[in-house]
Chain A
């Protein structure tokens, strides 16, 4: 039997794309000390808003922009609650996810309820027929623009230093004249925008439509990837590729006759279990950012 290596690797990159957006968005917030569990809902909102605007205007550019703005607003809501008001981050994040999912479902039902599935324009693949590099534009953005950019910002810029300082020791950052609140707000809003963009990839690039299970836990995967990657860009991206590889493999296995007897759902669950296993192995003794989950108040 010939194993379609190229197809699996190409699928790996496609599957990893929204995870790179989401995980790097989450990473930005967490490097400043804020865990944004709103990510699951933000991906969902990005997917839905992108779909909605594409369906209504037919413009993919507008749709993408709208998804980014929606994500940024979700990030701003998280910042308002967790940074400005000091609400428990777990509760605020879960609350935002519940709100965004319910609000999108409500709007979806109201606007697209009944009747058949609405299908929109979607991005085409660049280099079609080019094997592994036959990918959607956003995949190139994720791997060739976003990941290197975040890596560079964190490593070589004052903004990166500030982010790290605020997450490790907000008191020290404050003393150095860095506004803890502003830094965290910025990180959450930018991070939210990335999550929104990542969510829109699912509708505007992959599916061309919206389904209720379109995100199905990818946000939680992103949170796990950030821990797995110990808040560093390169291992986080590698983790996303690892998940993508297993997801691509299970998709391939599902259509391989020899594995036809295995329930499809168990195969779909495989990459989630791989991530949990990876966390169990690499999650030991990780060093969290010093101010993780901690609101900052000047004494």
Chain B
């Protein structure tokens, strides 16, 4: 079977390894992919760039059989194929590593790798283990075949994902934003592995929204915007500024409503020019200002090591403190502990003058805590309307006697919709809102109470440029109005751009602090990685 396929390749030398023709996919009124033509040759790295929501993930899901195109065809070595499931894609020699890892946590690495194509009967673990070791050899990075996956770090899990693809006679590897979750050192390892694989003749499709990280890796660059392929060029000698402009659509008439500075900033972020994010940073914050949030000796027990370990930090009124770190190093736990959704093992949390350790969420809200978490859809009750979600934290304020006053709820919602420019009616189901609009609802809910401190975690993840800028502007305005902001983010440019100082969280501990004015990606990266190895 494999021999027959390689025969095809040699007889059809002219045909690219994989070719997409006229791929079109619609979700309701949204045209996610609009007649996309793309191809990739053996040994080539094709970087697919685009803003969030540009249609990159949709395209790769179609290529991998996770989603079906409404129109268009996929050709492998010149022959049309139909992909109705990942099994078809695997059979055609396509492997994929998605943003959400698809590994079975309680199983070992070997067991995970045995899943695809294993027979129903007895399985040969020894042989499978040997194949895992051989594949990890090919990748150039050691992987323990007997480790239980849920105990591995994110970078290690990603390697397992890549191994999984390699085992299946894979000739095209699709990587969907593989660097989003990695520390810089892991990114280097990943790129080295990709180079090893392409040298063997494998083709790689690499998705990213960061131009600067793929320029030296890619052979070709395709740019998607709003579902359309707007550029497909060799990477050699490309013009980064022009590509960035294409990505964000600076020249497009559809974006006339975006202010110029938004476009400039997006451009700068996309190109990765240091320090380009316009910052209205205040100088060093006066140490005499009252603490808006004070965390002392916060720990959260965990297995095998504590998930939070003696974290102490202070956010003063009128400053934005950034928390940098690679995903999975305690950020989620820190935010949950501050919000009161996870009880802590030891330590205290103060909001303004009030100690809130051990208090429930409602009491923390009353003490002046505002929250904006990474899981937007998990922060709203999806089955309820916009207005119900807007008042959910503060229902008793809208009571007339024992009853909830619909009139006052409606009026309150309308006022917030106006003030925060939410594109929805009060009675709309919240699940129908776009990510940006949902974030505005959450911002409105948090800011409307004039919080003493706002804990914001990944507040711009998955948002388009306009919505990001809106969130930044709101955070800055809140800071300028004298509140404290704790900004947890994996996007170093974002932290450097809007925080006043940045602390680094690694392995559940705070391992360093830098003033944002002095911070560089490299310095933060060292802090994020260095202590990781130290902890391990």
Contacts and interface: CB of A to CB of B under 8 A. Distances in A.
State if A and B touch, Cβ cutoff 8 Å: yes
B385 interface: no
Interface in B119-141: 119-123
A129 interface: no
A156 B120 CA distance: 10
B279 interface: no
Contact of A168 (B67, B96, B107, B164): B107
Contact of B122 (A156, A164, A177, A298): A156
Contact of B121 (A159, A164, A298): A159
Given A176-B115, A299-B66, A299-B67, A158 B121 contact: yes
A122 interface: no
Interface string B80-98: 0000011100100000101
B117 interface: yes
Nearest to B97: A175
B106 A161 contact: no
B104 A173 contact: yes
A221 B121 CA distance: 31
Interface in A140-169: 156-159, 161-162, 164-165, 168-169
B118 interface: yes
A164 B104 CA distance: 9
Contacts, number: 81
A165 B115 contact: yes
A177 B123 contact: no
A121 interface: no
Contacts of B104: 164-165, 168-169, 172-173, 290
B102 interface: yes
Contact of B115 (A173, A290, A298): A173
A172 B103 contact: yes
A33 B508 CA distance: 32
B102 A171 contact: yes
A174 interface: yes
Contacts of A162: 115, 118, 120
A231 to B, nearest CB: 11
A72 to B, nearest CB: 18
A278 interface: no
Given A157-B121, A157-B123, A161-B123, A176 B105 contact: no
Contact of A169 (B98, B105, B117): B105
A282 to B, nearest CB: 19
A158 B100 contact: no
Contacts of A287: 106
A157 B119 CA distance: 8
Interface in B58-74: 61, 66-67
Nearest to B120: A159
Contact of A161 (B67, B87, B101, B111): B111
B126 to A, nearest CB: 12
B431 to A, nearest CB: 15
B479 to A, nearest CB: 37
A91 B85 CA distance: 31
A178 B102 CA distance: 12
Given A161-B114, A176-B115, A177-B87, A168 B120 contact: no
Nearest to B66: A298
Interface residues of A, number: 23
A175 B103 CA distance: 9
Contacts of B122: 156-158
A183 to B, nearest CB: 10
Contacts of A299: 61, 66-67
A172 to B, nearest CB: 4
Contacts of B120: 157-159, 162
Contacts of B115: 161-162, 165, 172-173, 176, 178
A189 to B, nearest CB: 15
Interface in B375-429: none
Given A161-B111, A168-B106, A169-B103, A174 B118 contact: no
B259 to A, nearest CB: 34
B535 interface: no
Nearest to B123: A158
Contacts of A172: 101-104, 112, 115
B116 interface: yes
B165 to A, nearest CB: 10
Contacts of A169: 102-105
B355 to A, nearest CB: 29
Contacts of B107: 161, 164-165, 168
Given A169-B103, A171-B100, A177 B85 contact: yes
Contact of A177 (B90, B101, B111): B90
Interface string B462-484: 00000000000000000000000
Contacts of A178: 115-116
Nearest to B101: A172
Nearest to B96: A175
Nearest to A152: B122
Contact of A156 (B87, B106, B123): B123
Given A174-B86, A175-B86, A298-B66, A158 B102 contact: no
A202 B86 CA distance: 45
Contacts of A157: 120-123
A161 B125 CA distance: 12
Contacts of A164: 104, 106-107
A236 B379 CA distance: 38
Given A158-B114, A161-B114, A299-B67, A176 B123 contact: no
B280 to A, nearest CB: 40
27 contacts: A156-B122, A156-B123, A158-B114, A158-B118, A158-B119, A158-B121, A159-B121, A161-B111, A164-B107, A165-B104, A165-B107, A169-B103, A169-B105, A171-B100, A172-B112, A174-B86, A174-B102, A175-B66, A175-B96, A176-B86, A177-B85, A177-B86, A177-B90, A178-B116, A287-B106, A298-B67, A299-B66
Query: Top 3 closest A-B pairs, CB basis?
Result: A177-B87, A158-B118, A172-B102
Given A157-B120, A176-B116, A299-B67, 15 more contacts: A156-B122, A161-B111, A161-B115, A162-B120, A164-B107, A169-B103, A169-B104, A172-B101, A172-B104, A172-B115, A175-B66, A176-B102, A177-B86, A177-B117, A179-B85
